[in-house]
Amino acid sequence: MKIINSTDLINSNTEYGIGLGNFDGVHRAHEFLITELVSECKKRNIKSMIYTFRRHPGNVLDNEKIKLISSLERRIERFRELEIDCLCLVDFTEEFSKISANLFVKKILKEKYNVKLVVTGFNYKFGKGGKGNTDRLIKLSGELDFDVVIVPPVMLENKIISSSLIREKISEGKMESVRNMLGRCYSIKGKVEYGNKIGREIGFPTANIVPLKDFVLPKAGVYYSKTIVDGKTYDSITNIGNKPTVSINKRTVIETHIFYYSELLYGRDIEVQFVSMIREEKKFSSIKALKKNIISDIKKVKKRFL
């Protein structure tokens, strides 16, 4: 897969089928769209391109602070896995936001990228003020000689799969629903930092990471998880929260106890995959009570999942 910036020069003789969208999470509905794009491009013998933004537009102009599901690196990885020929990454700016829907299609899609096909979702909006929609796109396709495929909603449990719904389910701790919509477990990566070592002292050493503020966080609580270290996946139990029993610091920390693992991980990168919520976070009366509950949580995990 070739990665280009929107400012790069393009061979105008190359014909493209272009998939449009934000693609946060690259969830199952996105995957359906991308599969359609790749298939239709092969039929037409043209190159497939995803045209998307480095940063979510809502976080650039409106300061909405939309929490992300996937990093740019993870999105790129998934596009590559789905066999896209070309990925165009666009810096969404105030100037870009002022381009009208008509000019976006005519000057960018048609004149710059020689578009022969556009594939997008049923609710796609584009152009200044989001005034462009699928009806406008279809109208312009007739004038500018390219095809349009509008992908219908992808449903799960009578709800339309969307990035906003996935964010909602993550924040509720409903990780099974999240996994069904994403097509994989929601995960958070981070570098292991030094903690207060209480876990090690009571027999349950943890690898602690601090999540980046840009990403949506699962509901505070205890989860059955899988932890990836150096490409290997281990069963684990993870607490996400501010450790109310042992800390007055309100900083959110992800603490993971990896089963049958004894190596020190300080300073190393790990990835924690959230499989299922066991219980909500709570404060215990003592370290002894905390240890007793950890033992109970681990027994529940092993009985249910292992």
Rounded mean pLDDT, 201-218: 86
Give the model confidence (pLDDT) of 74-117 as tens digits.
999 999 999 999 999 999 988 999 999 999 999 999 999 999 99
Q: Does residue 20 surpass a pLDDT of 60?
A: yes
Place 211 in a pLDDT band, splitting at 50, 70 and 90.
Answer: confident
The C-alpha atoms of residue 60 and residue 97 are separated, in whole angstroms, by 10
Average pLDDT over residues 197-224: 85
Q: What is the pLDDT of residue 204?
A: 81
pLDDT of residue 252: 87
Cα distance between residue 16 and residue 40, in whole Å: 11
Residue 300 near residue 213 (C-beta atoms within 8 A): no
Q: Tell me: the pLDDT tens digits for 136-163?
A: 999 999 999 999 999 999 999 899 999 9
Burial class of residue 202 (count of CB atoms within 10 Å of its CB; 0-12, 13-18, 19+): middle
Q: What pLDDT score does 197 carry?
A: 66
| pLDDT tens-place string over residues 191-209 | 999 876 666 667 688 999 9
For residue 248, the model assigns a pLDDT of 55
DSSP letters, 50-74, are EEEESS-HHHHTS---PPBSS-HHH
Report the CATH number of the 2-156 domain: 3.40.50.620
Q: Residue 42 pLDDT more than 70?
A: yes
What pLDDT digit, counting tens, does each position of 284-303 carry? 767 787 888 888 999 999 99
Q: Is 185-305 the same fold as 2-156?
A: no
- The reported pTM is 0.92
- pLDDT on residue 13: 86
The yes-or-no verdict on residue 173 having pLDDT over 90 is yes
Helix (H/G/I), strand (E/B), else coil: 98: coil
64 pLDDT band (50/70/90 cuts)?
low
Mean pLDDT of the chain, nearest integer: 91
The whole-angstrom separation of Cα 221 and Cα 21 is 33
**Residue 53 predicted with pLDDT over 70:** yes
pLDDT higher than 60, residue 167 = yes
* pLDDT of 223 strictly over 90: yes
d(CA 21, CA 52): 6
Residues near 284 by beta carbon (within 8 Å), at least 6 away in sequence: 245, 290, 293
Structural domain spans, the chain: 2-156, 185-305
pLDDT of residue 288: 81
Tens digit of each residue's pLDDT (9 = 90 or more) over 239-286: 998 865 555 567 789 999 999 998 889 999 999 999 999 999 887 767
pLDDT for 43 equals 97
Give pLDDT, residue 32.
97
Four-way CATH pick for 185-305: 3.50.50.60, 2.60.40.1510, 3.40.50.150, 2.40.30.30: 2.40.30.30
